[in-house]
Amino acid sequence: MLRTTNKKTKIEEEEIKGYNSSLYSIVYANVPTFECNLTQIEHTCLDRITLLDQIVKLKDSNPKGNSTSLDVQFFGLVTQYLGKHEHPSTKLKDELSHFMCRIAMCDSEEDKDWFINAEALLLNFRLSTNDLTTHLEQFTEFGWSKLTTQEFETYQKDLEYLVLTSNGKPIDLDINSFYKIPFEDVPKLVEHGKVVLKKGWAIVFKAYFRELIICTYRNYLEFAIEKVKQDKARFKTQYPEIAEILRGITRPTIVNSKLYGANSSHIKKEQIPELSKTFPLCMRVMHDHLISYGKLMHDGRLQYGTFLKGIGLSLDEALGFWKNAFSKRVTSSEFDKEYAYQFRHTYGQEGKGISYDPYSCEKIQRTFPSGKEQVHGCPYLWDSERLEKKLLELGIDPSKTYDIVEASKTQSRMACTKHFHFLHPNNNNLTGVINHPNFFFEQSKIYFKQIDEKNKKSKENSKNNNGDVVLD
Amino acid sequence: MDTQTKTNDNDINDEDMDDIFGDTEGSYELDNKVSLRVYYDQYFPFDLIYEWLSINSLFGHGEASQIRFFERREFSSRITKMDGTTFVTRNRSFSKLDDIKDYLKGRNPNNNSIDVAERLDIGPIYSCEPIKKSMVTDYTPLYKEIVFDIDINDYNDIRVCCSDTSLCMKCWGFLAVAAKFVEMYMKECFGFEQLLYVFSGRRGLHVWVSDQRALSLSSEARANIIKYVKYERTSVLLPILQRGFDELFLPYFEQHVLEEQDIFGNAAQYKNFLSKLPLEVRVGKKTIIHPLDQIKEKMLEIKDQATSLEKWRAISDYFKQNNLMEYVYDIVFHYTLPRFDDKVTNHIIHLLKSPFCIHPSTGKLCVPIDLKDIDQFNPTKVPLLNSILSTPKVSFNPYRASFKNYIEQMKLKSQQQISINDPTSF
Ligand SMILES: [Zn+2]
């Protein structure tokens, strides 16, 4: 798969023999043969990381979605870091850096999440300017297939339903407007009734091809990187020099969860009830559940516990807080025996001594609560009905609630960001999208600090005014 | 008797209990215990349960793979001791049928008790044998039948024939129509063929789907199967719901629910029914109509001369004429759509009572039901533990035979699937 030479320094057209460009695919489903040198690997990887970082930032600063000007900026970035599209070296550079970065990003969950997320954005941008049907053939490897003419005829009524409910036109009732995919592979579309199910196949209308491609691609990357991880030891022995170079390729840290690991500010347990009113919804839900039922299941304790640690609650304060919250059901000595260990563990005082970082949105969204007792995870992934009920319960007005619920259907973090803006009216500090509950909290803190300062100023002003009046 | 629930497994604390088990009450009188031990000893079809749970082994073909598959299945049971304490034993697994028998009869020294087990619960297949759980680092649930649990008390707001957990032939209809829909849904949408319907012994119906593809579904996929057929107001139904409406739900509603649950005669039922009607609806650009008022008026007009069905038809015609089919769907689905206990389906680790258990509080046998007989099934005439022991020929053998027959069918279907999937078998 990989041949390295130390002589070459630049990628030139005549040097990329052995490279089969017909395998080029925007989802990197096949690993081509690379012939390149170590410096190339390092440079292309660094360029790709920068490119991905820029794309993530571009997206974060324009959370509302795609526009033509965004696409232009995006293509500027791709050309800058990968080269012009038509140029054969672009393909090599693109594929080489992609496959190398898989290896570089496979070790930690955080790196992997960031990489998959950024790569999915890259694909999304690419798809937005391409005719999707030209790409669909690439997905036969993922078990997608076209309908047979017989299926097309037998399922006429079902297909009409799909066209009708996806705002399609009569002309869309065409065999090429549909693909069938194993239903297990399209969970979101099944959940929301956007597909017709037939004998284990989900029949998908073309309106959903794009989000499906993205989703399939993410799953595929997840799977592929897991494989790379398992194979890493062998890779290291086989290509020690490359492994060494890849060790130096790191993810840019912008809002790194580690930032929240140690917090200089100190929060007392008595402040939590008041503070919880402006917590992100996931934490608010867990807090409310904890207070009303006097319990929180294991995953919830971990997610809420590390969050509280991240906002500056010391271990002693935390133990006091949890003991008190559990006191409805558990005596003090039972708490010390059954639960205290976990919290000390979270703070690195037990077990392997690893201090646990607060969970990012990415990580929280991967946890799948089961059962009504479990309230961890991301509430924006709930059924609309349940989410709506909770938001209204928290006193968010119906129109804003509607707004948030609608956003949650496509972009959970956008919904979370909308919730932030509701809790912090006229906020002008947060411009991007929430990607971490502790980021939410820090932003909230900044907001209230600014308000405090404003109030102080206006108080001082009014004092001065009073003085003036006296002088008069 | 003061009943405490304890568990000998540290990993499950009591807060998890309600989630994993269905009903939790019921303890046993001494003479019942004696009978129960005889039942386990002479009747309980361990051999068939073994076949049923392992025919579709995902560890390869043949007897050896079937045994390995069965060995990793979690079983659980509950034992009430003489002092009234209830023990739950979890994470049990067996490699010999005699071992389960001993386990239920209470002779197994690992059982922590010499008492007889009240029931047998079936869990998923794990990555290792559940009894060896503490010896491994990776203990993950891998496979499990898709299960549906429909309890009649979830229909309490729409039934008048019974209350609480009691179940008569009339309200059994709700469960029967649910079963027929599950059959239609599983076959048409997923191609699943191996469905077992079991009366849960008191208030509900269990459905077990054993196809190989069903066994390996993730929790997410299971949850989505339930969500896919949740109805939200719409005038264009999902094809499977449309079929269910035309072939099952509307006929059942019109021919049974209206009369049997006294929708128009019983004041509370009528009030509930009216609460499903919209107060005002916009039709076209400018017109606003008031369905609730108009329908109430119409009902007063035809009050005594019309049958329930005529009244209902007048209402559904009213909506159809105004092009408001969604309100007809609203009503019919409210009264007929299966009310699944979602968590039982969604969670792969959830335990469900085995067929052929004796229900701890009713003494009824949890019998498998053939779908073609489901309308005639009478939950009040199900054999009791005592009648099984006194007249096994009528009270037990036919059920065993029909379960055996189901398993033979399963074997045939599995072989067909193997020959389709495996070209070397030709
Ligand atoms: Zn009844």
**CB < 8 Å & 24+ apart, contacts of A221-227:** A221/A102, A221/A115, A221/A116, A221/A119, A221/A120, A222/A112, A222/A116, A224/A102, A225/A102, A225/A105, A225/A106, A225/A112, A225/A115, A225/A116, A226/A106
Q: Does A183 touch chain B (CB under 8 A)?
A: yes
* Residue A2, H or E segment: strand A2-4
- CB-CB neighbors (< 8 A) of B227 in chain A: 190-193, 383
Q: Does B364 touch chain A (CB under 8 A)?
A: no
Element (H, E) at A460: helix A437-471
Out of A190, A199, A371, the one facing B224 most closely (by C-beta) is: A190
Is B302 part of a structural domain of the chain?
yes
Residue A472 has pLDDT above 70, yes or no: no
- Architecture in CATH of A2-131+215-253: Up-down Bundle (1.20)
- Residue of chain A nearest B223, judged by CA positions: A191
C-alpha dist (Å) from residue B263 to B36, B274, B339: 43, 10, 19
- Predicted confidence band of residue B336 (pLDDT cuts 50, 70, 90): very high
Q: Does A395 touch chain B (CB under 8 A)?
A: no
From chain A residues 313-352, the ones with a CB under 8 A of any chain B CB are 338
d(CA B113, CA A15): 76
Can you tell me whether residue A35 is helix, strand or coil? strand
How far is the first Cα of chain A from the last one, in angstroms, to the nearest whole number? 88
CA distance B395 to B389: 8
Percentage of chain A with pLDDT > 90? 25
ipTM, two decimals: 0.89
Residues B170, B32 share a domain? yes
* Cβ contacts of B190 on chain A, cutoff 8 Å: 183, 197, 199-200
Which tokens in the block code for residue A45? Answer: 């990887």
Q: What is the 3-state secondary structure (H, E, C) of chain B?
A: CCCEEEECCCCCCHHHHHHHCCCCCCCCCHHHHHHHHHHHHHCCCHHHHHHHHHCCCCCCCCHHHHHHHHHCEEEEEEEECCCCEEEEEEEECCCCHHHHHHHHHCCCHHHCCCCCCCEEEEEEEECCCHHHHHHCCCCCEEECCEEEEEEHHHHHHHCCCCCCCCCCHHHHHHHHHHHHHHHHHHHHHHCCCCEEEEECCCCEEEEEECCHHHHCCCHHHHHHHHHHCCCCCCCCCCHHHHHHHHHHHHHHHHHHHHHHCCCCCCHHHHHHHHHCCCCCEEECCCEEECHHHHHHHHHHHHCCCCCHHHHHHHHHHHHHHCCCHHHHHHHHHHHHCCCECHHHHHCCCCCEECCCCECCCCCEECCEECHHHCCCCCHHHCCEHHHHHHCHHHHCHHHHHHHHHHHHHHHHHHHHHHHHHCHHHC
Residues B47 and B182 placed together within one structural domain of the fold:
yes
Q: What is the pLDDT of residue A2?
A: 47
C-alpha A190/C-alpha A43 separation (Å) is: 42
CB A100 within 8 A of CB A45: yes
- Residue A88 contacts residue A12 (beta carbons within 8 Å): no
Statement: residue A228 has pLDDT above 60: yes
* Subunit contact A196:B217, Cβ cutoff 8 A: no
Pair B218, B92 in one domain? yes
Question: For residue A332, what pLDDT is reported?
Answer: 87
Across residues A141-147, what is the average pLDDT?
Answer: 83
- Residue finishing a domain among B302, B336, B370: B336
Residue B10's pLDDT band, with cuts at 50, 70 and 90, is very low
For helices B30-42 and B97-105, what crossing angle results, to 10°? Answer: 170
Per-residue pLDDT of B136-168, as tens digits, reads 888 999 999 999 999 999 999 999 999 888 999
- Give Cα A461 distance to the centre of its chain: 45
Residue at a domain's end among B280, B306, B336: B336
Chain A residue numbers touching B225 (CB-CB < 8 A): 190
Q: C-alpha distances in angstroms, B413 versus B69, B406, B420?
A: 19, 11, 11
Separation of CA B260 and ligand 1 centre (Å): 9
Q: Active-site residues of B: which are they?
A: 74, 149, 151
Contact of B18 with chain A, judged by CB distance below 8 Å, is answered with: yes
Amino acid making up residue B277: L
Choosing from B318, B336, B354, the residue where a domain stops is: B336
Judge if B244 and B126 occupy the same domain. no
CATH code: domain of residue B128: 3.90.920.10
Nearest to A232 by CA among A102, A117, A109: A102
pLDDT confidence band for A464 (50 / 70 / 90): low
Over chain B, what is the mean pLDDT?
Answer: 88
Is the Cβ–Cβ distance between A193 and B238 less than 8 Å? yes
Please return the burial class of B85, using the count of CB atoms within 10 Å of its CB with bins 0-12, 13-18 and 19+.
middle
- Count of structural domains, chain B: 2
DSSP letter string, A200-269: TEEEEEGGGHHHHHHHHHHHHHHHHHHHHHHTHHHHHHH-HHHHHHHHT-----SS-GGGGTS-SS-B-G
Are A49 and A119 a contacting pair, CB within 8 Å? no
In this prediction, residue B86 carries a pLDDT of: 79
pLDDT tens digit sequence for B287-313 = 899 999 999 999 999 877 899 999 999
Q: Is residue B136 part of a domain?
A: yes
Alpha-carbon distance values, A189 to A32, A162, B252 (Å):
33, 12, 30
| Separation in Å, CA of A182 to nearest CA in chain B | 10
What's the mean pLDDT in B363-379? 96
Domain match, B329 and B358 both: no
Which residue among A157, A197, A368 places its CB closest to the CB of B220? A368
With an 8 Å Cβ cutoff, is A222 touching chain B? no
Residue spans of the domains in chain A: they are 2-131+215-253, 138-210, 255-449
Closest CA–CA distance from residue B343 to any residue of chain A (Å): 6
B238 neighbourhood in chain A, CB within 8 Å: 161, 193, 196
Whether A416 has a pLDDT exceeding 60, the answer reads: yes
Residue A163, CB-side half-sphere exposure with 13 Å CA sphere: 17
Residues B289 and B249 in one domain: yes
Interchain CB distance below 8 Å, B190 and A371: no
- B155 and B300 in a single domain? The answer is no
Distance (Å, whole) CA A232 – CA A234: 5
| pLDDT confidence of residue B70 | 97
Token pair 């078998």: residue: B425
Chain A's closest residue to B342, CA to CA, is A371
Nearest to A187 among B13, B221, B240 (CB): B221
Check whether B15 has a pLDDT greater than 60. Answer: no
Mark whether B64 and B205 lie in a shared domain. yes
Please tell me whether residue A12 adopts helix, strand or coil conformation: coil
pLDDT computed for residue B155 by the predictor:
97
Q: What are φ and ψ of residue A279, in 5° steps?
A: -75, 160
Which pLDDT belongs to residue B293? 95
B417 touches chain A (CB under 8 A): no
Whether residue A297 lies within 8 A of chain B, CB to CB, comes out as yes
- The 10s digit of each residue's pLDDT in A192-204 is 999 999 999 999 9
User: Average pLDDT of A326-346?
Assistant: 85
Domain check: are B258 and B359 in the same one? no
Domain with B261 in it: 231-336
Q: Tell me what pLDDT residue A249 has.
A: 83
Q: Which of A159, A183, A192 to mutate to test the interface with B (most CBs of B within 10 A)?
A: A183
> How do residues B179-227 score in pLDDT, each as one tens digit?
999 999 999 999 999 999 999 999 999 999 999 999 999 999 999 999 9
* Mean pLDDT, residues B305-328: 95
The verdict on B236 touching A (C-beta cutoff 8 Å) is: yes
Nearest neighbour of A191 by CB, restricted to B217, B227, B236: B227
pLDDT of residue A72: 81
pLDDT at A23: 38
- The CA distance from A113 to A46, in Å, is 18
Query: Model confidence over A269-286: pLDDT tens digits?
Result: 888 988 998 899 999 999
Q: Same domain, yes or no, for B32 and B86? A: yes
* Residue B177 sits in the same domain as residue B311: no
B275 falls within a domain:
yes
pLDDT at B16: 40
Residue A353 reports pLDDT greater than 60: no
- Per cent of chain A over pLDDT 70 is 85
Contact A371 B213 (CB under 8 A): no
- The answer to whether position B426 is within a domain reads no
In the three-class reduction of DSSP (H, G, I as helix; E, B as strand; rest coil), residue A313 is classed as: strand
CA dist B389 and B38 (Å) reads 8
Which residue of B224, B228, B347 is in closest CB contact with A370?
B347
Cα A356 to middle of ligand 1, angstroms: 54
Taking CB atoms and an 8 Å cutoff, what residues of chain A touch B347?
Answer: 370-371
Distance from CA of B349 to the nearest CA of A (A): 10
Among A residues 122-181, those touching chain B with beta carbons less than 8 Å apart: 157-158, 161, 164-165
* Cα distances (Å, whole numbers) of residue B250 to A57, A101, B244: 54, 57, 8
| Domain shared by B185 and B69, yes or no | yes
Give yes or no for residue B111 having a pLDDT over 50: no
pLDDT confidence of residue A13: 33
Contact across the interface for B228 and A297, Cβ inside 8 Å: no
* Domain assignment of residue B23, yes or no: yes
Q: Which of A164, A166, A186, A191 to mutate to test the interface with B (most CBs of B within 10 A)?
A: A191
Lowest mean per-residue pLDDT among A256-260, B36-40, B393-397: A256-260
Give the separation between CA B232 and CA A80, rounded to whole angstroms.
49
* B19 part of contact set with chain A, CB < 8 Å: yes
Among B188, B217, B239, select the one facing A184 at the smallest CB separation. B217
State the pLDDT at residue B172: 97
